[in-house]
Structure 1
Amino acid sequence: MSKIDHYIDAIIRQGMAEAQEDGSADTEAHHLLLALASHEGTAAHAALGSAGLDRQAIRAALDREFEHSLSAAGVSLAAYDLPTPSRDPDRRPRLGASARLAIERAIAAATGKRDLRPGHLLLGILEAELGTVPRALALAGVDRTALMADVRQPLAAGSW
């Protein structure tokens, strides 16, 4: 396996651990984003950090998005004591649709797997127009377009 294969495998495994922690049956793009933020020493981690998006900030944004989505459906977290997610340590979350699409977008942006870099995976997640990640980032006040530009620039220059 190449270096990028090991990296993607590590991100997917960490994303699965994030999904399992959430009690999710599927590993989705927001789980991969949490994994990227946890994987120190990469350009993707640095780009997230420069936007103020460490793992804790992303988790807080995702929690706000969850609360906001419930509120849109007329459910207030303050009014209900929701149970903690059930976590089955023996169940391995499968790769969900948004995660698969993020990986496909990353490979397409890299013009093939051979040229794939960690920044491409971050772009694959950030390029989603709809879903949990763009809603969470918007609620956190993150300029997703500017962040994507910050990631694209070093990729285009070949410095990632």
Structure 2
Amino acid sequence: MSAIDHYLDAVIRQGEAEARHDGSAAIEAHHLLLGLAAQQDSAPGAVLAAAGLDRAAIRAALDREFEHSLSTVGVSPAAFALPSPTPDPDRRIGLGASARLALERGFFHAPRKRDLRPAHLLLGILEAELGTVPRALTLAGVNREELAERAKEAASTADW
């Protein structure tokens, strides 16, 4: 396997762990974003950290997005004792639609597989116009366009 294959495998495995922790049936783009943040020694990890988006900050933004989404339909999570998710360690968790689309968008930016860099994956996640990640980052006050520009720069200048 190439270096990018190993990197993608590590990020997807981390995304799977995040999805499992959430009790999710699929790995979605926000799980991959958390996985990228966990890879602190990579270009995407550095781009996210420079924007103040470590794993804890991203998790907090995702929690705010969840609460905000519920509040738009008149539900307050504080009013209920929601149970914690119960992870099923035996269930196979595959890629969800938002994760597949993020990967496709990221791959689109590299003319050939050998040109694919970790920052391309971050770029693919940030380019989503709709969904959990754009809502969470907006609620966190993150300028996605600026962050995407940093990811583009990292993809063009950084080996890893």
Q: Under TM normalisation by the shorter chain, which class is it?
A: over 0.9
**Alpha-carbon separation, structure 2, partners of 1:82 and 1:71:** 15
**Alpha-carbon separation, structure 2, partners of 1:39 and 1:92:** 23
**Alpha-carbon separation, structure 1, partners of 2:3 and 2:42:** 12
Structure 1 position 58 matched with structure 2 position 62: no
**Alpha-carbon separation, structure 1, partners of 2:12 and 2:98:** 13
Asked if 1 retains the 8 angstrom alpha-carbon contact of 2:67 and 2:76, the reply is yes
Asked if 2 retains the 8 angstrom alpha-carbon contact of 1:20 and 1:92, the reply is no
Which residue pairs with 1:130 in the alignment? 130
How far 1:33 moved relative to its partner? 0.2
How far 1:150 moved relative to its partner? 1.1
Asked if 1 retains the 8 angstrom alpha-carbon contact of 2:118 and 2:155, the reply is no
**Alpha-carbon separation, structure 2, partners of 1:10 and 1:155:** 18
Q: Can you list the C-alpha shifts for 1:28-62, whole angstroms capped at 9, x where unaligned?
A: 00000000000121011000000000000000000
TM-score, normalised to structure 1, is: 0.96
Aligned 1:1-160 pairs, distance under 5 A: 1-156=1-156, 158-160=157-159
Q: Structure 2: which amino acid aligns with 1:89?
A: P
Give the RMSD, CA atoms, in angstroms: 0.9
Q: Structure 1: which amino acid aligns with 2:48?
A: L
TM-score, normalised to structure 2, is: 0.96
Asked if 2 retains the 8 angstrom alpha-carbon contact of 1:22 and 1:85, the reply is yes
User: What number of residue pairs does the alignment pair up?
Assistant: 159
**Alpha-carbon separation, structure 2, partners of 1:119 and 1:59:** 20
Asked if 1 retains the 8 angstrom alpha-carbon contact of 2:43 and 2:154, the reply is no
